[in-house]
Chain A
Amino acid sequence: MTDNALILGTIFTPFAAGIVCLALWGRNRAQRWVMLLAALLAMGFALALGAQALTSGTQIYRLGGWQPPYGITLVADGLTAAFLSAASIVGFAITLYTFGCKDKQMTRSAYAPTAMMQLTALYGTFLTGDIFTFFVFMELMVISSVILVATADDKLGIEAATKYLLISAMGTLFLLVGVGTSYAVFGSLNMADIAQKSAEAGALAGAAMVILACSFLLKSAAFPFHFWQPDFHTIAPTPIHALLSSVVVKVGVYGLIRLTTLLFPTLVAELRVILIVLGIIGIFFGSLTALRTFNVKRVLAYSTMGQIGFILISIGWGNTLALTAAILYSFNHALVKSGMLMMAGWLASQNKLKSSKIAQSQGLGYKMPLASALFFIGGLALAGIPPLNGFISKLAVVQGGIAASEGDVVQWLVLGLVIGGGILTLLYVTRLWQAIFQSPPNAQTAELKPAGAGDSLLAPALLIGGCVLLGVFAQPVVDIAQTIAVGLADTTPYITAVLGG
């Protein structure tokens, strides 16, 4: 297998752009152009890499030319391709949104380099084939997100960032313990090597699996580890919020899929049950809390918790159809959620207080047909109404559930709860839409409305347009997800591609 330079290109383009942005300190316009170009280039690399990984098998890059399992190997297989393409599309959209964003933070010189480092770390976590490098990229992501949120326009940013840094640093510390434990068991950090040896592993491998699973659950803000997520995500500036809530939480999901299908497939029977239970709790806790929350950004942050629940349940079911659903759901949810969060940011920018509380934004979008239509379509896609892409992914989840629950009453009950939980999404989305776009402004909000225009609607329009397209022409995407899920069932091609013959 030859080294594929596209892998390096995807990681190092945003990294180089971050350094160039540092050199352009104080020249805001130039920084934004560099960011946009780098994100566009990285998206091109990532999509080309994904296409290659799907057509001609797993692509690898051996850093420093060391033969695996020695040295650091960067690997792009089908699963990486799915998550990486979602991440790079959202990454491009947020740099586009930065152009039209009126937040003061966007004009600070520290913003662009940090945002680029965050993208580097995000792409790196998906591309690495080495669990220690995974930890390093994860820690880079935590530090850059903390800086971006601490310097947000909102005064509470520093408080949210402190809380997140403590909790998330704990999460990555436990990831490090898990890495150390699996090194003690397998004597290797290479994922393919661990996968090869994991079948005959002893009890300590189970401990490593549990610690890794806990830290991935913390990263994906699943139920018992969710408490940091709404605070931190609500305070984040709009473009960063869109990235955090749509793709960064998917890093945990990606880790869980890798854990259950590649690293420890023989040890995860109990973990699957736990994932199903946590997913159900997540769906109901997230959706019901979203119904009783009075801040648009916070509603969407809780909604992420609910939507992650659907993915966790699919991973828990773990058959080919359900894994197809998990991949489809992750991809579609990344597009919808980032689009919706940009709409929420646009809404906050329409408000003199820059607040996204529902009481202060009632009727702010009254008689704004374009924004209203975008929010409505995005909301329906989030709730899973045909013909939008949310429907395709929910349908896939239900199909996976039917395949998993043949003749099993408990599983049928789980499936019923999943469908019921899906309906809750519709409730909170329509509640937001009615309050903001359908009711006329009251005395307080009419006063708060500024004369000038707010943020640009270009980026959310592209993302939500993409949702409609992916809903109408869903077949190719479903086929690709199915190919990836079938490939996950057999780990041999991955191991052969990385370790060679």
Chain B
Amino acid sequence: MGAIFAVVTGILFGLGVFQLLRRDLIKVAMGFFILFTAINLFLLAVGTFDGRVAPYVQPGTFERLEDAVPNGIPSDPLVQALILTAIVISFGSYALLLGMLNVVGKRKNSINADDLDDLKG
């Protein structure tokens, strides 16, 4: 499981960086989102060093933590909270980026990164 996570995160990371370096700005935006997904997966993997089942605790009193969870050792719920926050933030920046690319495309009639070269000083 850990190996699959590592491979998938690595592939997504590579895809994201590759797309970020493209000329087409829509592809750049896609790459940005893929990269964010890769990082979210990485955060999720960080939380599974002890166990992998959902951190759901049965009602009642228990001696050990393992007994309180129905199917074994729970994974760390903190990183899942972090991922929720990160998803909200990435959604916000992604929407902002696409909105700005929309304006750029209308003004310039192009979304090629090479055409955005008016800033020279």
- A interface list, Cβ under 8 A from B: 132, 136, 139, 142-143, 146-147, 150, 155-156, 158-163, 165-166, 169-170, 173, 176-177, 179-181, 183-184, 189, 230-231, 234-235, 293-295, 298
Contacts and interface: CB of A to CB of B under 8 A. Distances in A.
A158 B107 contact: yes
A180 B43 contact: yes
Nearest to B25: A162
B100 A150 contact: yes
B107 to A, nearest CB: 7
Interface residues of B, number: 30
Contacts of A231: 119, 121
Interface in B55-86: 78-79, 82, 85-86
B82 A143 contact: no
Contacts of B119: 156, 159-160, 163, 231, 235
B103 A295 contact: no
Nearest to B120: A231
B46 A230 contact: no
Given A166-B28, A173-B39, A183-B79, A143 B93 contact: yes
B8 to A, nearest CB: 15
B39 A180 contact: yes
A294 B89 contact: no
Interface of B: 20, 25, 28, 32, 35-36, 39, 42-43, 46, 49, 78-79, 82, 85-86, 89, 92-93, 96-97, 100-101, 103-104, 107, 116, 118-119, 121
A136 B46 contact: no
A22 B107 CA distance: 28
Contact of B89 (A136, A181, A189): A136
B121 A159 contact: no
B121 A230 contact: yes
Given A160-B119, A298-B121, A165 B96 contact: yes
Contacts of B35: 170, 173
Interface of B is mostly: helix
Nearest to B119: A231
B24 to A, nearest CB: 13
A163 B118 CA distance: 12
A166 B79 contact: no
The residue in A147, A169, A184, A294 that gathers the most chain B C-beta atoms within 10 A of its C-beta is: A169
Nearest to A159: B116
A166 B31 CA distance: 10
The 5 closest A-B pairs by CB, nearest first: A184-B46, A298-B121, A231-B119, A180-B43, A139-B89
A161 B100 contact: yes
Contacts of B79: 180, 183
A295 B32 contact: no
A166 B46 contact: no
A183 B121 contact: no
Contacts of A136: 85, 89
Given A173-B36, A183-B46, A294-B121, A162 B100 contact: yes
B93 A158 contact: no
A166 B93 CA distance: 9
Given A169-B32, A180-B46, A295-B121, A143 B101 contact: no
B2 to A, nearest CB: 12
A234 B100 contact: no
